[in-house]
Amino acid sequence: MKSKAANPATQVLAKTMVNTRHHAKQLSMSRMKKASSAISGLHDSRFRGRGMDYLESRHYQAGDDIRNMDWRVTARTGDPHTKLFQEERERPTYVILDCNASMFFGTRNKFKIVLASEIAAFLGWSSIQKGDRIGGLTFGIHGNHIIKARSGKRGVMGLMSHILKTTKRQPQEQQANLDEALKQMRTVIRPGSLVFVISDFLNLGEDGKRHFIQLRKHNDVLAIKIADPFEINHIPAGRFGIKQTVNHHSTTRILDTRQSHMQRKLADQQATHIEQLKSQIIKAGVPIIPVQTDDLWINKIKNGLANPTPAFNHWLGGIH
């Protein structure tokens, strides 16, 4: 019996992610650097720049920062010594990817998870292209998992391989909170990193703002909002089959949008979600680049990276 061919619109495929490397070549290093500068310029920070690696210790000299004293060498030799550091050559870039069940949905072109995986791979190829390391964190139906940042092709291939594993559907699936993913990332990330959060942000909890603020104190952070037009625009009147998984049990129900009260309810839910994006992410000093499943996403990401500040407001103006 012939196996059913994989559908690139509904399934995350290695070939699709690998092919994004051709688009990454068009993204210049200067544009990525400009994006980092634009993000940094949105807020004040006590530390900005790449991580610092220990180089050596030498005798203390007048004017040295007392916070860099090497107390072990000082105690051993009896003479005050201070630590010297050098800037990290490769900047770590991390992709936090939402793999919750809500991402496995789409009415135009492809599922949200397929779009998100393509963007994650694209950012991975772009990062190693300019000599940086790429790592990540996936959260969702398979739980939370860290991908160690590595340089070169090995780094981006490791990221894509992990995404393939954590986007395979299974009978029993977990539901993971973005707040916990942000908290976990803070425990492993090095100061001066560039962090992209790719999500529909439907699993953003009440502590999201606090974790975003803590994460961006020493790092550049940018959010990429994934959406389907069905979720954003005025929902047409009709009857739609909706599959839900609650406590490992799948059920199918009918969403009847022909009734005015249901239209009002959905509109209210969307308005609440938009306000949450503003209060939890924008007010935390993190810019949002919105991308929909029917967009030419390469252009949206490139333009957003070049000038991330107005991208969200432009998207809001287009919602109807």
**CATH number (domain holding residue 210):** 3.40.50.410
- Residues 115 and 291: their CA atoms lie apart, in Å, by 9
Contact 69, 81 (CB under 8 A): yes
81 and 147 fall within a common domain: no
Contact 15, 7 (CB under 8 A): no
pLDDT exceeding 90 applies to what percent of the chain?
Answer: 53
- Residues 293 and 110: their CA atoms lie apart, in Å, by 6
Is residue 131 in some structural domain? yes
Is residue 58 in some structural domain? yes
- pLDDT for 43 beyond 60: no
Is residue 57 in some structural domain? yes
Is residue 7 in some structural domain? no
Residue 205's pLDDT band (cuts 50, 70, 90): confident
pLDDT in tens, 154-172: 999 999 999 999 999 988 8
216 and 134 fall within a common domain: yes
119 and 220 fall within a common domain: yes
- pLDDT for 34 beyond 60: no
| C-alpha distances in Å from residue 215, one per residue of 53, 81, 182, 210, 304 | 20, 32, 7, 9, 21
113 and 223 fall within a common domain: yes
- Residues 16 and 121: their CA atoms lie apart, in Å, by 9
pLDDT exceeding 70 applies to what percent of the chain?
Answer: 83
Q: State the Cα torsion 106-108-110-114 to the nearest 10°.
A: -60
194 and 136 fall within a common domain: yes
Token pair belonging to 136: 């990540």
Segments forming the whole domain that contains residue 80: 53-87
Is residue 158 in some structural domain? yes
| Element at 194 (helix H, strand E) | strand 194-199
Contact 193, 258 (CB under 8 A): no
pLDDT in tens, 112-144: 999 999 999 999 999 998 889 999 999 999 999
Is residue 8 in some structural domain? no
Contact 51, 132 (CB under 8 A): no
Residue 44's pLDDT band (cuts 50, 70, 90): very low
The DSSP bridge partners found for residue 194 are 93, 220
From 87, 113, 147, give the residue that closes a domain. Answer: 87
* Token pair 């068009």 in the structure block, residue: 26
Q: Which has the closest alpha carbon to 180: 215, 221, 149?
A: 215
Number of domains composing the chain = 2
33 and 129 fall within a common domain: yes
Q: State the Cα torsion 73-52-86-27 to the nearest 10°.
A: 170
148 and 244 fall within a common domain: yes
Is residue 216 in some structural domain? yes
57 and 95 fall within a common domain: no
219 and 288 fall within a common domain: yes
Higher-pLDDT residue of 257 and 307 is: 307
Residue by residue, DSSP assigns 141-183 as: TTEEEEEEEEEHHHHHHHHHHHHHHHT---SS-----HHHHHH
117 and 73 fall within a common domain: no
Task: Go through the chain and tell me how many residues it has.
Answer: 320
Is residue 71 in some structural domain? yes
226 and 256 fall within a common domain: yes
113 and 139 fall within a common domain: yes
Token pair belonging to 36: 């980092």
Contact 137, 144 (CB under 8 A): yes
CB neighbours of residue 109 within 10 Å: 15
